[in-house]
């Protein structure tokens, strides 16, 4: 029975490790593209003003602000989770 529990724990740990790193890599790519979009938006602001489409720029700015807030929330959760993991790992050893 202990052998089965160890086997299950090993696979659960492996799954969590792969899921964490895969998600982190995906979100890093999302962040790169979001930063590119911010630069494109900043560069296109004068064009949008000339075309009278300032509301599009304002909508995009609000969306970028929401993205920054979501990113901040995720980073705070990540930092808290790392702290909990560190405490648990220290308690186990």
Q: In percent, how much of the chain has pLDDT > 70?
A: 100
Q: Name the CA radius of gyration of the chain, rounded.
A: 21
Q: Two tokens at 63?
A: 């969306």
DSSP notation for 3-36: HHHHHHHHHHHHHHHHHHHHHHHHHHHHHHHHHH
Token pair for residue 23?
Answer: 């998600």
| pTM of the predicted model as reported, rounded to 2 decimal places | 0.72
6-29 per-position pLDDT tens digit: 888 889 889 988 999 999 999 999
Of 87, 90, 38, nearest in space to 63 by CA:
38
């Amino acid at each position: 029975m202990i052998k089965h529990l160890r086997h299950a724990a090993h696979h659960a740990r492996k799954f969590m490790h792969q899921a964490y790193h895969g998600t982190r890599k995906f979100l890093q790519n999302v962040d790169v593209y979001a930063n590119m979009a911010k630069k494109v938006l900043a560069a296109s602001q004068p064009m949008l003003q000339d075309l009278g489409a300032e509301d599009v720029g304002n909508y995009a700015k609000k969306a970028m602000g929401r993205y920054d807030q979501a990113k901040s929330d995720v980073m705070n959760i990540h930092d808290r989770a790392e702290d909990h993991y560190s405490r648990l790992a220290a308690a186990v050893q």
